[in-house]
Chain A
């Protein structure tokens, strides 16, 4: 039988007294939380413990006695043993330490059926401690003799364990019968929940004096306190603003079909709705319940602040030295240049591009059609050119809401400016798709077969002469016109893919800013003990004649796990099809929308 005692490091040099803590049921271990010093009145101690139990919800009890005799103090042995009668327990630990020695000795008094205290000796152990994760808390070895009990002291740093959160985080109440939490988890939970126990410091004038990590004085930070005070009115303000904004968005006028469709396509509107959700999460009046909610709120807040800071940086750069005018002056000539390049491309296609056999008549028709479109587009851009600077100026202001807004606005503007490329792509793709479909069907007719829709297979079929005749004519026509259409389709698809790629990059970066858990990463870097994956043990003392002492150090979470666990769920933008499916769609002529947006899920 091995008994594990989790002993806080701050109590290593505490004066003699009573140890208060919790027995962890089922695992034969005890967590020492604080030491209450002599002199004390047992009745007050019991009252204090009951009070703390009610406040914290942890099953506190007196574990045993701790004695570190100073010079001149002797003869406490019998006194200490008598204490066990005052505080009736199943087991009573008597831990002794002498100045100058590093090891402790521990005596365990058990109550057997007669109620008499039976003493057991502790034995030394010679094992190496190794890393442990999650479930196991230490080494358990079989004994040679059943009756002798071994004690291991596991020292822990109380402040770190109290603030740390063991991963994977268990949210909600887990059924203790089916899935009992592990020993380590129980240790962490005990220390974390015993906060009221640590409020009593040495400057208090109460009847009891105790030693724990906050004995030297309660830690508090003025900034944190100020923020806490200021957060309440701030939340109220934000909540009120949000309610006005939601009311505006909910006006009937905006839920007409064209506006709704447009707002679902424009990424600025999507980002706006997304940020509204975030603000709603932040401005809720209830404090965060549980570690996950707190982390999510913190991540949202930090990423929002970073976003706004980057946006302000962008604004500062944009509005000085007349950058906006320069941008506006280059935009219209750039659009003109693109249109001219497109016209040249079409002229080249209307000739004999790369020596390919194009059907002249169809070539001319398609080429002229697209040229007319470009002409319309250029007129439109020239019409808009006086307003471009104004648009850019006001659009740049939107960056004060965050860099993500500026990027989404840029993406939307690119989409609007290249709308003609999108139109060309759709025309070319539809024509090509129709042609491919017709060709495949007529090829089946050529061979005397037909597609059986019911059985989803190709069957033979006897056609009439006129069906065969017309089918063959159409097949010949489509076949010879295929190179022309295919070339136009190829050119416009490539252009469209370039635009889509650029927009994809913008969306990915917006997504990244939205979802990256900056707060969690900062915590992992600066205070790595707060996100714990597990623990590791180091041997402190292996003197013969004393118990084994181990130091429990917290194993921080890996960075990749941090990102994975705390990523804010976003409308993540990722490719919809695999490469093979994409190529197949391109070959057949289906319209491709390669990026898929997930709708946000909030839990």
Chain B
């Protein structure tokens, strides 16, 4: 009997291999691939929701641009360090108040102790930075300007890439360290020790404390959060425009790509997705094993 001959209907074909059946081994009947499932876990993206989330990435990009703008101003002597320091202090206090206001709605606790701990942290930051700023100022004296710029650029790029966009509140180590390294490199190029101190305080504010506030805002007031992102993006482009129009144009293009073009691509390309699932997939354990841990 060859593979094309039709067996008698008395013996139905069963999908087993351990039993000798009158069918050849590669025989399949009409129920072939009925367990196939296509695109099982696919999510339906809605364009504007994705744009809203991508706005956060654009916001971070603009933050970096604002920081660089401030540095450019300081380097050209257009911004005095005392002014920057006072502005940073005021912003910090405002931000802290906002943060506390948003937090107390969610959890209650020993507020005094947290306030003291925050004060302690702030004191440590400021004293360390102030103490080390003369040393930091002379760090890159003998390094050429191009090297400094290249290093800072690489580090800021690393910061953007490794930023924990999903959950920015405990900041990721690599992202914040890279940002601080870049800011130290840039700050050491400034003319005085006070400039360095001011720059570093500003960097701390922008890279370490601002994401915490953003996290709170995103959790509690999503609509205002979106408006804030848009505001920061506009502020970044505008600030850069005063220093270098070309840079501003580039930034605007990048923002447009990230916030508008990439979500479009994502939504459009979803329809080309073609995943197949079936009983041949690896087994995944979905059971909750915590009842084993007593």
**Chain A interface (Cβ within 8 Å of chain B)?**
352, 357-361, 445-448, 462-466, 468-473, 475-477, 480-481
A357 vs B174: C-alpha distance in the bound complex, in angstroms?
27
The answer to whether B173 and A466 have CB atoms under 8 Å apart is no
- Total number of B residues with any Cβ neighbor in A under 8 Å: 27
The answer to whether B142 and A476 have CB atoms under 8 Å apart is no
The answer to whether A468 and B184 have CB atoms under 8 Å apart is no
Within 8 A of A (CB), among B125-142: 125, 128-129, 132, 135-136, 138-142
A182 vs B124: C-alpha distance in the bound complex, in angstroms?
85
The answer to whether A468 and B125 have CB atoms under 8 Å apart is no
The answer to whether B204 and A469 have CB atoms under 8 Å apart is yes
**B171 neighbours in A (Cβ, 8 Å):** 465, 468
By beta carbon, the residue of chain A nearest B137 is: A361
The answer to whether B142 and A448 have CB atoms under 8 Å apart is no
**A466 neighbours in B (Cβ, 8 Å):** 121, 124-125
- Among A447, A464, A473, A480, point to the contact of B140 (Cβ < 8 A): A480
The answer to whether B176 and A468 have CB atoms under 8 Å apart is yes
Given A357-B142, A360-B142, A448-B172, the answer on whether A476 and B181 have CB atoms closer than 8 Å is: yes
A473 vs B201: C-alpha distance in the bound complex, in angstroms?
12
A555 vs B128: C-alpha distance in the bound complex, in angstroms?
82
The answer to whether B142 and A447 have CB atoms under 8 Å apart is no
The answer to whether B173 and A468 have CB atoms under 8 Å apart is yes
A352 vs B208: C-alpha distance in the bound complex, in angstroms?
38
The answer to whether B173 and A477 have CB atoms under 8 Å apart is no
Asked if B215 is an interface residue, CB under 8 A from chain A, the answer is no
Shortest Cβ-Cβ A-B pairs, 5 listed: A448-B173, A357-B142, A472-B180, A480-B139, A476-B184
**B181 neighbours in A (Cβ, 8 Å):** 446, 472, 475-476
Asked if B177 is an interface residue, CB under 8 A from chain A, the answer is yes
By beta carbon, the residue of chain A nearest B142 is: A357
Asked if B279 is an interface residue, CB under 8 A from chain A, the answer is no
**B3 neighbours in A (Cβ, 8 Å):** none
Asked if B170 is an interface residue, CB under 8 A from chain A, the answer is yes
Other than the given A447-B177, A472-B177, 4 more pairs (CB < 8 A) read A357-B143, A361-B135, A446-B174, A469-B176
A468 vs B143: C-alpha distance in the bound complex, in angstroms?
25
**A480 neighbours in B (Cβ, 8 Å):** 139-140, 143
A–B complex contacts, Cβ < 8 Å, 13 sampled: A357-B143, A359-B138, A361-B138, A445-B173, A445-B177, A466-B121, A466-B124, A468-B173, A469-B180, A472-B180, A472-B181, A473-B136, A476-B181
A587 vs B174: C-alpha distance in the bound complex, in angstroms?
27
- Among A357, A471, A481, point to the contact of B177 (Cβ < 8 A): A471
**A470 neighbours in B (Cβ, 8 Å):** 124, 128
A359 vs B137: C-alpha distance in the bound complex, in angstroms?
11
| A471 CB → nearest B CB, Å | 7
By beta carbon, the residue of chain B nearest A447 is: B174
A360 vs B134: C-alpha distance in the bound complex, in angstroms?
13
The answer to whether B135 and A477 have CB atoms under 8 Å apart is yes
The answer to whether A472 and B184 have CB atoms under 8 Å apart is yes
- Among A360, A361, A447, point to the contact of B173 (Cβ < 8 A): A447
The answer to whether A473 and B173 have CB atoms under 8 Å apart is no
**B124 neighbours in A (Cβ, 8 Å):** 466, 470
Max chain A Cβ within 10 angstroms of own Cβ: one of B173, B176, B208:
B173
The answer to whether A476 and B174 have CB atoms under 8 Å apart is no
Given A448-B174, A465-B176, A466-B124, the answer on whether A473 and B142 have CB atoms closer than 8 Å is: no
